[in-house]
Amino acid sequence: MTDDQTRQIKEITTAYEEIRTTAQQVVVGNLHLIEGIFITMISGGHLLIEGVPGTAKTTICKIIARLIDYEFRRVQGAVDIQPADIIGVRIYDRNRNEFILQKGPIFTNFLMIDEINRLTPKTQSALLEAMSERQATIDGTTYPLPDPYFAIATQNPHEAEGTFPLIEAQCDRFMFSTTLNHLDSENELEVLRRERAGELDWEIYQNQVASILSPADVQAMAAAAREVRVDETVMAYMRDLVLATRNHGDVRLGASSRASIALLRGSRVKAALNGRDYVIPDDVRALALPALRHRILLTREATITGITAEGVIAEIVESVGVS
């Protein structure tokens, strides 16, 4: 490892530690989500969060956006949201005698879509081009999105009424997924302690905290992560994990090649967080669940018998070795 590489890796590690420590001033628990957001952001992907209401998903996203000096926009999913409400629309300006673009919330650095499965499939599809190509087409004209561009979507697994299952193509555009559950007893008590002390007020926190990173810093870290070495044997391990999802008896639709790319990009950042300029199989194993969970569909028989995607992935990780 050269001195320059050592410095770049240290910058990534230090930045994450500082973001995690600062975020924990308000956030109780959920460290895996903070790490997941950081890894996904540096990897240049998007994140899908599944969890019950009230688990601080929006608060965590606002904090990360604040610490990285991203422009943050939020969309609340609802059945009456139309594609134009997200991507924007061209309207006629009588004074200027021309059509002008009224940009939607998608034109930002950090977009959060709350309860994306409350959007109709037509509106969900409006996000596909933005997430995959970082551009939006309005009335036949294509507009680039800000760079960097990062999207997080949440969905509630327990409210079926008034929701639409996320279409497979949309799920596949998310590099990683994660789940959030209610806090355990000790962390729940810590929330009460902080609320009693007035430490959970977002306005107070927002005025006290300054940005740690700039968008340019994130881009520089992304470039440094792309230099992390990945041996052929480790890439073969990634391939074997993905192929195992396509050949598993309980899976009717296995992971796509985007899963392989997610494992490659994410494991490089994971290695950097651990202070290394090379990827080891443990980095890949740590990301197998978030990279594969939302990309596989189980057979009807497996679902009926209580088999879960998490269980299938755990079985695959246990059975597939490094050749």
Q: List pLDDT tens digits, range 37-75.
A: 999 999 999 999 987 777 777 778 888 888 888 888 999
Residue 155 has pLDDT above 60, yes or no: yes
DSSP state of 210: P
- Interval 277-288 mean pLDDT: 96
- Interval 300-323 mean pLDDT: 93
Q: Which helix (H) or strand (E) holds 176?
A: strand 176-180
Query: What is the structure's pLDDT at 160?
Result: 57
- Cβ neighbourhood burial of 90 (10 Å; 0-12, 13-18, 19+): middle
The terminus-to-terminus CA distance of the chain in angstroms comes to: 25
Can you give the C-alpha Rg of the chain in angstroms? Answer: 21
- Interval 9-22 mean pLDDT: 90
Query: pLDDT per residue over 211-253, tens digit each?
Result: 888 889 999 999 999 999 999 999 999 999 999 999 999 999 9
Residue 10 has pLDDT above 60, yes or no: yes
Q: Which helix (H) or strand (E) holds 204?
A: helix 202-208
Q: Is the peptide bond before 148 cis (omega within 30 degrees of 0)?
A: yes
Query: What is the structure's pLDDT at 229?
Result: 95
CB 66 within 8 A of CB 105: no
Cα–Cα distance, 110 to 131 (Å, whole number):
12
Q: Which helix (H) or strand (E) holds 124?
A: helix 121-125
